[in-house]
Structure 1
Amino acid sequence: MLILAIDTSAIASAALLRSTRTDGAAEVLASFASTETNTHAEVLAPAIQGLLTEAGVAGTGLDRIVAGVGPGPFTGLRVGIATARTLGFAWNVPVDGAMSLDAIAWDVLAAGEVPAEGFTVAIDARRRELYWARYGADGSLAEGPRVSVPGSLPAGPVYGAGAGLYADRLAQSGAAAVERFRDRQPTAASLGAAALRQLARGGQLLGTTPLYLRESDAKVPAAMQGHTP
């Protein structure tokens, strides 16, 4: 199976992955990840074109596109999901979704240091809050995704850039940031690998409805509410 994975829940990233094994083990053919959190619209499409060229793959030759559906901010998620839907339509390729936090959970599993009691993944949700989810020792989702203040996360190890931002406040609930993962953001390469493993196990991926978890900051002005042009 050949897939294009896209994630814009934090940074903009894309990856081409191929799996030919029954256990879903994936080979990353080409990948891109930005270092910024506010340039998604500018860098994503050229990056995807570059990946296809690098790997010598045509979009119509893909078996599937997998888009990270968050949780994440409105603008960032919309860029990635809209890109995935548009490319899927243009290339006649099915498009599925995957929770973006699964990408970091995959990184934890790949590092071979999964705590027996499970672990939490967290990224920045702004407003002094975190997007987070809890995983079992086998990487299966146990709770979430949720958005809350850092001091309310479950006790135990926390992986991801959100933990690095609020390491001191996590201690209020007995949680602790894992040093090696204090700057880790979801990436498309890891998201795609997690999705391929899920499919190989007979699991289902998500739809492409974004996981915003809270309302948009954008509001219709009171003077325009109820106004019909």
Structure 2
Amino acid sequence: MKINILTLFPEMFTGVLQHSMMKIAQEKEAVDISVINFRDYSSNKHKNVDDYPYGGGAGMVLTAQPIFDAVDHLKEQSKGSPRVILMCPQGERLNQKKAEELAEEDHLIFICGHYEGYDERIREYVVTDEISIGDYVLTGGELAAMVVVDSVVRLLPDVLGNEVSHKKDSFSTGYLEHPQYTRPAEFRGYKVPDVLISGNHKKIEEWRSKESLRRTLQRRPDLIIEEQLSDQQKKWLHELQKETD
């Protein structure tokens, strides 16, 4: 995968891209990430990238020209049709399904805004996707882009040490992940559930599935769609609901 990030503050990405899974993914050549200052594409002699909004109002608005030209240049270098993603609080809320969808692409271009907003023509004629990471406003799109890039890159083949790791993450199955334990089996009097050290893999999987459902019911009941549950899951759900009555 190729990822281009258009931003006015490239230095913000240095630490994120040089550590942990981002670094591993690039070393394994699973992804090629470049961070580009779109101010370099400004045709203004002062390299300005913002201006006052028509009609008046507070703040400055990013102008269309630098971003149009930057995206055009990146598209010329692309072998296909890249997805152009605008980081915006008005956009579609990021979730695991969206991350999985983007992980199937060959080329992603992220646009990180700043100031009061974007010239609307960027949204209308350049962008293919608008993504938000939550119902709040950040100073710029950089932090949000880091979140989206991380959620996508970790899904690429060979990035995680265990190929099935992400498949059981919270939200990957539609529900929250089951509790996890490691050694020792007893710590300060607190014990690991017996089933996990029983060696009975069928019972372990059943326990994990039920506990995943329990945690989802406790914390995110909105994720549970009973019509989509198996007969066994419906039975567990009714048992869990009785426990809370």
TM, length-normalised to structure 1: 0.30
Larger Rg: 2
Instruction: Answer 1 or 2: higher relative contact order, Cα 8 Å, separation at least 6.
Output: 1
So what's the TM-score if we normalise by structure 2? Answer: 0.28
Task: Flag the structure with higher helix content.
Answer: 2
> Higher strand fraction: Structure 1 or Structure 2?
1
